[in-house]
Chains A and B, each alone.
Chain A
Amino acid sequence: MSSQPIVPAVPAQPAAAEDVIHDIGFRHYDGVRFGRGWIVRSLLVDTLRGIFGLGRPARAKVMPWILVGILLAPPLVVALVAVLTGATSLPITYTEYLSRLWLPIALFVAGSAPYAVSRDLRYGVLPLYMSRPMVRTDYVWARYGGLAIAMFLITAGPQTLLLIGALLAKMPVGDQLTGWLGGLLASAVLAVLLSAIGLVIAAFTPRRGLGVAAIITTLLVVQGISEALSRVARLQGATTWAVLAGAIDPSRLVDGLAAKILDVTPASQFAPTTGGEVAVFVLVYVVLVAGAGALLLRRYRKAGRL
């Protein structure tokens, strides 16, 4: 339509239909309709974008990006120092990073999980999704997937920055790449667990503010209890219990698993060493993720009814 050539002649012709707005009534749609897979992917991408405030008002962008900044700052400093001083190894390992920056990571999941699920639950939006070509679990998977990918990105990014610093400082490439890949694996394992826990808490506290508070409180309180138990156990000489108490804290759980499986230095002084301890850590991890998943689906079995 816009390809019409410029014709200066006949200016006063009413036949220029394109200049007039006509109400042509309700138009039917005969274009493409994508199926369930595309819809789930769309919802996942929407969730991911929304967590970082994309496509939302400016104030929704503040918190996530401040936290991303906080998470990126230490690797940036480490990288600069390594390059400038010509250090031969990083002062912090890729997996250690996750434990050292636990607070901003926990704050990020506390801010994001309620965004992903609370609003739809609180305002009864689910019927609008359930009456579309998807099923209840599609919705849960899409929300969960979006959150888990976001959690992975905010830790994998800084780890990659560490790698860049290490390579610029001419540290051994092979070692650094191995360490970095291990770090990414630990990030993924952490993202899967933390997103599941965050989403469950958020799904049971439909008020967004409460959800944020509940998640951060849970994570910090559990960490405090876990640490205290470990110290008490060590004082009593029960070293195995000191290690096992770490399994209830997601941060130490993943740190312990990563240290043992990837054979890197653990961040915690109570990391598992024996095969039995590692088995318990693996078991706790599986139970936590599966349990959170089951609780979520149960929650939505109720909420997903129209």
Chain B
Amino acid sequence: MEPARMVGAPGGSAATLPDVSAPATTPGPAIVTSRVTKTFGHVTALSNLTVEMPAGVVGLVGANGAGKSTLIKILLGLLPPTSGEATILGMDATTQGLAIRQLVGYMPESDCLPPDVSATELVVHLARMSGLPGAAARERAADTLRHVGLYEERYRPIGGYSTGMKQRVKLAQALVHDPRLVLLDEPTNGLDPAGRDEMLDLIRRIGNDFGISVLVTSHLLGELERIADHIVVIEGGVLQRSTSTADATALSGVMVVEVTDRGPEVLARLRAAGAAVDAADDGSNLFTLTQPDEAVLDAVASVAAELGVGLVRMQRRRHHLTEMFREGAA
């Protein structure tokens, strides 16, 4: 094991960062499904789903029962689609399940951790179950647990862990064998807001710093748009939208202005200057300008100066995916 590892860091020097080498993802799309349909008796879980998901972080959004978990099982090669084809990392999900599962990690949505073993024991064992030899399994388990933020507690039985720590263990076991892609099923489930933010940060790091492609599901679009490069929305097993986050959140023509004080007066003067201002008219110090030109922007500055109030911000607003989908649905 040792010599192989040293290749990544010649001379043991810290100057070499192994993850600088191109991300371990293929240049093409990571996941392609073509007319995938899955029915269970009378229930249709997925209907004619054709979608391409690029490498990087992809968010899969849908309500409970939208077909997200069914899609993941098909991609892992554990559930044959009723019809259609799915490829993941260029491998056919229906025939190459074993090869896929060697290079893909999976974090289940459900509770899946035995309480009487420590995180270290469990992750080492599961690394071996992915085919890693003993020494490599131990080394990578320690590394991976550290990366997900579990330190001394990893030697204690999992039974005593908080929900956040358990989610980290579930994430660690999905990463321990250095997959090229991980499928994360509702990783933020049951977490408090702070824990949710930490988990989302971690997922973003997996995609950006670790160079591992991510497919992450959630029923909340808002949290995925923060971290995903690409968003896929399904509902009732039907594809609603598949779009790059950058396109979707391009700059809008709206500018947000906030002043420290005397909001209504500023508002009145700006309106007098001919600016199209939107405000709640509740005496707040926050309002938006629609399609402001140079003159309007100058007016904002001079009005603030005249009234002696401070400008907190003048910011071009980005679209939120949420709005776009709301419009799309309407």
Contacts and interface: CB of A to CB of B under 8 A. Distances in A.
Contact of B131 (A1, A38, A120, A306): A38
Contacts of B4: 30-31
B278 interface: no
B18 A123 contact: no
A173 to B, nearest CB: 42
A35 B129 CA distance: 9
B42 to A, nearest CB: 19
B13 A128 contact: no
A5 to B, nearest CB: 16
Given A39-B131, A43-B129, A127 B12 contact: no
A17 B12 contact: yes
B18 A132 contact: no
Given A25-B18, A27-B143, A131 B131 contact: no
B194 interface: no
Contact of B173 (A29, A38, A128): A128
Interface string A113-124: 000000110011
Contact of A39 (B8, B73, B114, B128): B128
B132 A29 contact: yes
B19 A132 contact: no
A32 interface: yes
Interface residues of A, number: 40
B101 interface: yes
A15 to B, nearest CB: 10
Given A128-B173, A131-B78, A27 B5 contact: yes
B111 interface: yes
B21 to A, nearest CB: 8
A221 B278 CA distance: 82
A32 B133 CA distance: 8
A302 interface: no
Given A39-B128, A124-B111, A24 B177 contact: no
Interface string B1-21: 100110111001110111101
B129 A306 contact: no
Given A31-B4, A123-B111, A124-B112, A130 B129 contact: no
Contacts of B147: 26
B210 interface: yes
A243 B7 CA distance: 70
B116 interface: yes
Nearest to B144: A26
A127 B18 contact: no
A34 B72 CA distance: 24
Interface in A31-66: 31-36, 38-39, 42-43, 46
A43 to B, nearest CB: 7
A24 B133 contact: no
B78 A33 contact: no
A119 B114 contact: yes
Interface stretch (B51-59, B102-110, B294-302, B303-311): B102-110
B113 interface: yes
Contact of B108 (A35, A120, A128): A128
A24 B17 contact: yes
Contacts of B204: none
Given A29-B132, A33-B131, A22 B14 contact: yes
Contacts of A132: 101, 126, 129-131
B209 A26 contact: yes
Contact of A33 (B13, B126, B177): B177
Contact of A31 (B13, B105, B116, B133): B133
- Between B69, B79, B102, B140, the greatest number of chain A beta carbons within 10 A of the residue's beta carbon is seen for B102
Contact of A25 (B12, B19, B113): B19
Contacts of A28: 8, 18-19, 21, 24, 178, 211
Contact of A133 (B12, B108, B131): B131
- Between A29, A124, A128, the greatest number of chain B beta carbons within 10 A of the residue's beta carbon is seen for A29
A4 B17 CA distance: 23
B65 interface: no
Contacts of B114: 119-120, 123, 125
Nearest to B178: A29
30 contacts: A17-B14, A18-B12, A24-B9, A25-B17, A25-B210, A26-B18, A28-B18, A28-B19, A28-B24, A28-B178, A31-B1, A31-B132, A34-B132, A35-B131, A39-B130, A42-B128, A43-B129, A124-B108, A124-B112, A125-B113, A127-B110, A128-B173, A130-B78, A131-B101, A131-B104, A131-B108, A132-B130, A133-B101, A306-B72, A306-B106
Interface of A: 1, 17-18, 20, 22, 24-36, 38-39, 42-43, 46, 119-120, 123-135, 305-306
Given A25-B209, A34-B131, 10 more contacts: A18-B12, A27-B19, A30-B8, A31-B4, A31-B132, A33-B177, A35-B98, A39-B130, A127-B106, A135-B98
Closest A-B pairs by Cβ, 9 of them: A22-B14, A131-B106, A29-B178, A26-B210, A34-B131, A33-B131, A127-B108, A133-B102, A124-B112
